[in-house]
Amino acid sequence: MSEAIKNRYDFVFLFDVKDGNPNGDPDQVNLPRADAEDQRGLVTDVCIKRKIRNFVMLEKSKRVDEYDPEDRFDIFIRQGQVLNSVIDSASGEKIPERQRGLADRYYDIRTFGAVLSTGEKGAGTIRGPVQFTFSRSEDRIFQAEHSITRCAVTTEDDAKKQENREFASTFGRKSTVPYAMYRMHGFVSAVDAQKTKFSEDDLKLLWKSLINAFEHDRAAARGEMNPRKLVIFKHSSHLGNELSGRLFERVTVVKKSDLPRSKDDYKIEVNKEQLPGGIEVKVWPEEVVY
């Protein structure tokens, strides 16, 4: 088993969407999420974590058609999983022992933490070393709604209602964002990593998963989603050598068009000048990060 990481990290992840819905809001008839006050687009941390979990499952599976993960890279939060059964089956009588066992087996618990108090035995709560903010678009988004039609009908009743029409059809709605650049901030705590044994190998897999998060999550509803920049600030100590907010200010996004419609309409700059002592910066795609 690899040792837990010994350095703190902060990072900025920039991605964009074109003609798609990156994260629908079920409270707003699945319209793209947006800040009600300034209409900037939002993507929840849970949405990005789901894509990371899915990629890890694919990356560590033995076969494409069967999920058979390697040791230590199983996923706790996944479709069909009965969480209480998993929690109750954890070995150990004491909560710390059960937590260690679950964190050792499941990558997402080791990374993001989990609420494990729902089973009969229960295992308390684990705070994971990796935390994300909501992603927020650089500019206001336009929540475009499109009418769509289907030549087939769903029921016999629908068919009878439309039998006198030359071409029967069913109408529907589709919501998209024409284009938007989103920015997410992330944090990796070396202190919390000691508790879950989040290792350097786990960290490399996190970077790889972020960059590839959209590649195997394609859907007509999501349009084109692509990673554009990952800026990683590595601290030389476990507690950190600079405030995360000051490091994030070094990453600026400048709009070059009044109506952005591609990544070329933005200029992303990373200020590496006069870095605080103990801070190292890596920028993907210019540099290898995993």
Q: Please determine, for residue 235, whether its predicted confidence score (pLDDT) is greater than 80.
A: yes
87-93: long-range contacts, CB 8 A cutoff, minimum separation 24: 87/116, 87/118, 87/119, 87/121, 87/122, 87/123, 88/119, 88/120, 88/121, 90/121, 90/123
pTM of the model: 0.92
How much of the chain, in percent, has pLDDT values that exceed 90? 76
Residue 168 falls within a domain, yes or no? no
Domain span at residue 115 reads: 9-144+174-284
- The answer as to whether 255 is a domain residue is yes
Instruction: Indicate whether 29 belongs to any domain.
Output: yes
107 to 53, 168, 195, 273: CA distances (angstroms): 8, 49, 13, 36
The whole-number average pLDDT for the span 160-165 is 73
pLDDT bracket for residue 97 (50, 70, 90)? very high
Q: Model confidence over 39-60: pLDDT tens digits?
A: 999 999 999 999 999 999 999 8
Percent of the chain at pLDDT > 70 equals 94
Residue 168 has pLDDT above 60, yes or no: no
In-domain check, residue 153: no
Q: Is residue 165 part of a domain?
A: no
- Please tell me which residue, 163 or 271, carries the higher pLDDT value: 271
Residue 260 falls inside a structural domain: yes
Structural domain count of the chain: 1
- DSSP letter for each residue of 225-274: EEEEEEEEEEESSSS-SS-HHHHHTTEEEEE-SSS--SGGGEEEEE--TT
Q: Is 152 domain-assigned?
A: no
User: Per-residue confidence at 183, pLDDT binned at 50, 70, 90?
Assistant: very high
- Assess if residue 259 is contained within a domain: yes
